[in-house]
């Protein structure tokens, strides 16, 4: 009887991985509250026989699998495990049993695939040197992000991580099991802004006796669009979006206060800083024009995730060898969302790479991530497991 292939090993544990995924999906937990999920992960890792299990914070789990061919480098594989505050509308038989909470971003699949990879790697210790560090990360979808906290807790050390990889499922109309990769920027940064405009209110018939905060706020909202149009290099990409504006209670009364909030996104730290500086500069200018006071509260969100070129090349070789050359999709553009996986590179200086796993969809219509009807195909998970394992092994032997 021949040596069992990685494909056969992944298929052999498919039913177990599906069962884990459905358990996690039924019991979603929001960031920093993943107690049931992390307990299940620790239980499974102990069952598989990893060499070490730690919880740097109460709801995150980190495990080590040490190769028996000798010492070597350390590669980290990361999966996020938290859910979203979304009321599920998929109609699945294993739908969320928690009101207003759902795994609408595929983190249930991520955790399950990494557990599947852990099981396979534990049975393959004789085949590699070095160490695989498994990071089951809490609170990816809740600022300031679990990855930032884990780096601060030293998760990239003891042993030192030489490279970090992660994959994220992506709904698609007809593709299942292919891997989207690219070098350079992979996701955007994200920053949040809350602006409070304080003026002098009064009767709507006597606007000259007021300093109208609504008018001042609207002027600033329009002026903010100049940042992308006139301050950012046209060959770069940036977004400045206003998502909320609130003021007043009566149509014939000019209020004394108006509040609005927005979000900015960019692929480079340089553009990110331009947006931040211009936000405050415009607010200062508007104070002189309007006579109102502008209080701007800026919250740093996640940096942009950047894919190291050498790690991408290494992963491409591994994926093509394991899944075939047609399994790799070269992404022309980075993703428009943000990911705290970026902190492993920005804060710890660890080269990293982040890929997309095309996972099809369940039903007649494809819904995007974070949608209450979003549901991807479990058949994608063996491809994710094989991708994670093959990348780890290829990196450690290269």
**Catalytic residue annotation:** 82, 140
28: nearest Cα among 141, 150, 151, 165:
141
Q: Distance between CA atoms of 361 and 370, rounded to whole angstroms?
A: 14
Q: How does 332-369 read in b/e, with b if 16+ C-beta sit within 10 Å?
A: eebbebbbbbbbbbbebebbbbbbbbbbbbbeeebbeb
CB atoms within 10 A of CB 5: 11
Please spell the DSSP secondary structure of 70-87, one letter per residue: ----EEEEEEE--BBS--
End-to-end CA distance of the chain: 29
Collapsing DSSP to helix, strand or coil, 256 comes out as coil
CA 263 to chain centre: 16
The tokens for 225 are: 């669009």
Q: Distance between CA atoms of 159 and 87, rounded to whole angstroms?
A: 40
The answer to whether the Cα torsion of 366, 386, 45, 157 is positive or negative is: negative
Q: Distance between CA atoms of 251 and 278, rounded to whole angstroms?
A: 32
């Amino acid at each position: 009887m021949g040596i069992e292939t990685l494909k056969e090993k992944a298929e052999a544990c498919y039913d177990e991985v599906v069962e884990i995924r459905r358990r996690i999906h039924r019991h979603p937990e929001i960031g920093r509250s993943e107690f049931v999920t992390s307990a299940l992960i620790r239980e499974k890792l102990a069952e598989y026989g990893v060499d070490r299990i730690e919880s740097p914070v109460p709801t995150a789990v980190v495990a080590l699998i040490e190769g028996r061919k000798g010492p070597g480098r350390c590669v980290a594989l990361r999966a996020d495990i938290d859910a979203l505050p979304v009321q599920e509308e998929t109609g699945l038989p294993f739908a969320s049993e928690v009101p207003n909470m759902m795994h609408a971003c595929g983190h249930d699949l991520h955790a399950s695939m990494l557990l599947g990879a852990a099981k396979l790697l534990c049975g393959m210790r004789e085949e590699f040197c070095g160490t695989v560090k498994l990071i089951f990360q809490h609170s990816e979808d809740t600022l300031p992000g679990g990855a930032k906290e884990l780096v601060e807790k030293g998760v990239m050390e003891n042993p030192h991580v030489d490279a970090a990889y992660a994959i994220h499922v992506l709904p698609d109309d007809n593709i299942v099991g292919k891997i989207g990769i690219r070098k350079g920027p992979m996701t955007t940064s994200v920053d949040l802004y809350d602006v409070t405009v304080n003026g002098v209110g009064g009767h709507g018939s006597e606007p000259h006796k007021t300093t109208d905060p609504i008018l001042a706020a609207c002027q600033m909202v329009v002026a903010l669009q100049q940042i992308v149009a006139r301050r950012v290099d046209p060959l770069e990409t940036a977004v400045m979006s206003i998502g909320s504006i609130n003021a007043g209670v009566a149509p014939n009364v000019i209020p004394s206060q108006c509040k609005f909030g927005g979000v900015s996104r960019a692929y480079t730290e340089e553009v990110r800083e331009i947006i931040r500086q211009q936000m405050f500069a415009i607010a200062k200018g508007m104070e002189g024009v309007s006579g109102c006071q502008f209080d701007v509260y800026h919250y740093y969100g996640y940096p942009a995730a950047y894919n190291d070129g050498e790690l991408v090349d290494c992963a491409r070789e591994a994926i093509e060898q394991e899944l075939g050359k047609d399994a790799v999709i070269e992404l022309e553009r980075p993703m428009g969302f943000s990911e705290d996986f970026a902190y492993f590179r920005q804060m710890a200086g660890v080269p990293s790479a982040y890929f997309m796993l095309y996972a099809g969809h369940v039903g007649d219509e494809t819904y995007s991530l974070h949608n209450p009807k979003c549901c991807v195909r479990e058949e994608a998970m063996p491809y994710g497991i094989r991708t994670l394992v093959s990348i780890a092994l290829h990196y450690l032997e290269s």
